[in-house]
Amino acid sequence: MTGSIGLLAAALAVGLAALGAGIGNGMIVSKTVEGMARQPEARGMLQTTMFIGVALVEAVPIIAVVIAFIVQGQ
């Protein structure tokens, strides 16, 4: 895709990926804090799992940016 339509499509894809990642991260962190409040002794395990989940979710917008650049031909 080239032109302004392609740029708009790439921007929309990256924006939606970032929005989804933000919502996903918020859910992951909120459930982790809730789990820590219910079982403080499981804090270490919950925190480790949370960091792995956040890292996987954060990969989505990075992949979206790479795909947008590939589609633009840059």
Residue 54: inside a domain, yes or no? yes
Return the CATH number at 43.
Answer: 1.20.20.10
Q: Which domain holds residue 46?
A: 26-73
**In the predicted model, what is the mean pLDDT of residues 5-34?**
93
3-state SS string for the chain: CCHHHHHHHHHHHHHHHHHHHHHHHHHHHHHHHHHHHHCHHHHHHHHHHHHHHHHHHHHHHHHHHHHHHHHHCC
Of 70, 47, 57, 61, nearest to 18 by C-alpha is 61
12 part of a folded domain:
no
Using one digit for the tens of pLDDT, what is the confidence trace for 43-73? 999 999 999 999 999 999 999 999 888 888 8
Is residue 39 a part of any domain in this protein? Answer: yes
**Is residue 1 assigned to a domain?**
no
| Residue 31 pLDDT exceeds 80 | yes
Which pLDDT band holds residue 6 (cuts at 50, 70, 90)? confident
pTM: 0.81
Q: Give the chain's domain count.
A: 1
